[in-house]
Amino acid sequence: MIALSLGGLLGPQSAFAQQQILFIRAGIPTTGTPDIGMSDTGTIENTTTIDTNTASQNPALGHDHSLSLHYKDISKADWFYDKVISLAINGIVGGYSDGSFKPRKSITRAEMASFLARAKSLQATGTEPFGDVNETDWFSKDVAAVLQAGIMNGTTPALFSPSGLLTREQVSAIIVRAAGMDGVTDIQEQNRWLQGLKDRRSISLWARPYAAAAIKYNLMGGYPSKELRPSGVVTRAETSVLIWNILYKEIRESGGYPTYVAPYLPKPTIIFPQQKQVVFTKNYSVTAQIDPESSTQELWVNGKLVQIKHASGSNTVTFTGLKAINRTYSISVRTKNGSASTSTGVVSYYCLQAPSNHDHLIVIDKSEFRLYWIIDGFLKKIYQVAIGRDGMATPNAEWIVGQKYKTDPKGVYGPRKMRLYGLINGTYEYTRYGIHGTNEPWVIGTRASHGCIRLRNKDILDLWPQVGVGDHVITQP
């Protein structure tokens, strides 16, 4: 049996000892009864004893394990469970005196300072002159430590605001500094790392370098909805995962893995193209964020292995020379290192030959009788259409929506119509073509109109309010 102190984790230990603690922290089943508590003032109360003789050789982070430490308000089904338990065993985070962890409670600035000071083994020299931090406060030394380390600042020169909450963009800056990294200052590189976020334009200018760096170095990611939510507050569970990511990165870079375990590979992430993203060129590439320790990377397209790379030591891998032949593709990236292997989820995207510089774009593919509605480069929806009949074919052209109006629901245009203005001699001019509904739904999927684009009435009612005057339209073979 060995006793682990609940003080600083990354203090003066050998790299190998640090790695051992990491894997105890990261999910090796243990026996014993850890008795870790944080009082309502935030102080850690004691140490825990772990039986290393019964430790499993499975280092897989995030896998189920049988740690006996228990908080009444979290379970193994929670996405953050392993990380919270791992940090709690090492005294970096703790629960409350009522036996709860309060994972969904917003973290305060004082708690963040305390968690980081423990995780980084920071020691303050003296105190800091904040008017709202007293020497007797349980967090006073931690606040001084993170301030002196350059990880956190006050909200003003005179105030720390210990009870204040932190936004996600503020936390991105904090964790990047805590990891010893710099923000991404190159604008093009920033855009590359942030392009998959639908709310990237909501990130404050000062925070963009840190948000990009947090994503680049696998410290922080977006939500499944492809949002960063930069102004949203951060919970105790989310903070635990972020701190765990920092420590995992440091341990990995300190000398690799212990010899008695196979390397764990975090899942790669496809950066481009994103789910439902539209690729506008015939020749394109696929880029994925990978763990630097993966030795082999495979690109699978529509269930077939098409490329193999060996980008060891890199954070990203790019598969080039891909040609768009079909409209729809499903891809995944698989990484390997020895016996370890993991892959991304399947990403489905679309290849359309159209200009890529429009925020809102309609592409009508006449060969498929389909209308693609695209917002910010991502496919919003596909509608089936009818196009011009023989002798009255729908032209291949570039248009804008010049007018929108309601029509007689019982008439030839159905309930709504959008007039298309054609690009003629460099300017958009009125034409007889449009996009409208139909009271003959059986013609959808055929060449039946006088050249206009027909949709089912329910579809035009769905599309019409989303499209603005001036939005671009492409009709193509």
d(CA 285, CA 259): 37
| pLDDT of amino acid 69 | 60
Query: Tell me, what DSSP letter sits at residue 155?
Result: S
Q: Tens digits of per-residue pLDDT, 354-372? A: 766 778 899 998 888 999 9
d(CA 417, CA 408): 10
| pLDDT of amino acid 35 | 27
Place of tokens 């380390």: 149
pLDDT greater than 50 at residue 1 = no
pLDDT greater than 60 at residue 62 = no
| pLDDT of amino acid 356 | 66
pLDDT greater than 50 at residue 343 = yes
Q: Tens digits of per-residue pLDDT, 66-82? A: 334 678 888 888 888 88
d(CA 247, CA 231): 25
| pLDDT of amino acid 61 | 23
Catalytic one among 65, 358, 436, 472? Answer: 436
pLDDT greater than 70 at residue 132 = yes
Contacts of 84 (CB under 8 A, 6+ apart): 71, 74, 78, 93, 101, 103, 237, 240
Q: Is 436 a catalytic residue?
A: yes
What average pLDDT does the chain have?
Answer: 77
Give, in degrees to the nearest 5, the angle at Cα 162 between 157 and 166: 90
d(CA 10, CA 15): 9
| pLDDT of amino acid 358 | 79
Query: Residue type at 217?
Result: Y
pLDDT greater than 90 at residue 171 = yes
The SS3 assignment for 387 reads: strand
Strand ranges inside 378-458, DSSP E = 378-384, 387-388, 397-406, 416-424, 427-436, 447-449, 453-454
| pLDDT of amino acid 17 | 32
Q: Tens digits of per-residue pLDDT, 242-279? A: 888 888 766 555 544 333 233 345 678 888 888 877 77
pLDDT greater than 90 at residue 326 = no
Which has more pLDDT, 174 or 254? 174
d(CA 211, CA 214): 5
Give, in degrees to the nearest 5, the angle at Cα 137 between 132 and 138: 135
Residue 190's nearest CA partner among 175, 210, 218, 173 is: 210
Which has more pLDDT, 38 or 291? 291
The residue-averaged pLDDT of 182-201 equals 87
Catalytic one among 351, 358, 452, 472? Answer: 452
pLDDT greater than 70 at residue 53 = no
Which has more pLDDT, 150 or 335? 150
Residue 155 · residue 163 · CB < 8 Å = no
- In DSSP terms, 300 is beta-bridged to 305, 332
d(CA 461, CA 477): 26
Contacts of 157 (CB under 8 A, 6+ apart): none
d(CA 239, CA 109): 11
Phi, psi of 358 (to 5 degrees): -115, 130
The SS3 assignment for 167 reads: strand
| pLDDT of amino acid 254 | 53
Q: How buried is residue 323: exposed, middle or buried, by Cβ count under 10 Å (0-12/13-18/19+)?
A: exposed
| pLDDT of amino acid 50 | 31
Categorize the per-residue pLDDT at 95 as very low, low, confident or very high, splitting at 50, 70 and 90: confident
Structure tokens at 267: 């899942």
Q: Is 452 a catalytic residue?
A: yes
d(CA 454, CA 442): 11
The residue-averaged pLDDT of 130-151 equals 90
Categorize the per-residue pLDDT at 121 as very low, low, confident or very high, splitting at 50, 70 and 90: confident
For 120-273, where are the alpha helices, taking DSSP H only?
A: 140-148, 168-178, 187-194, 208-216, 236-253
Residue 240's nearest CA partner among 12, 26, 15, 17 is: 26
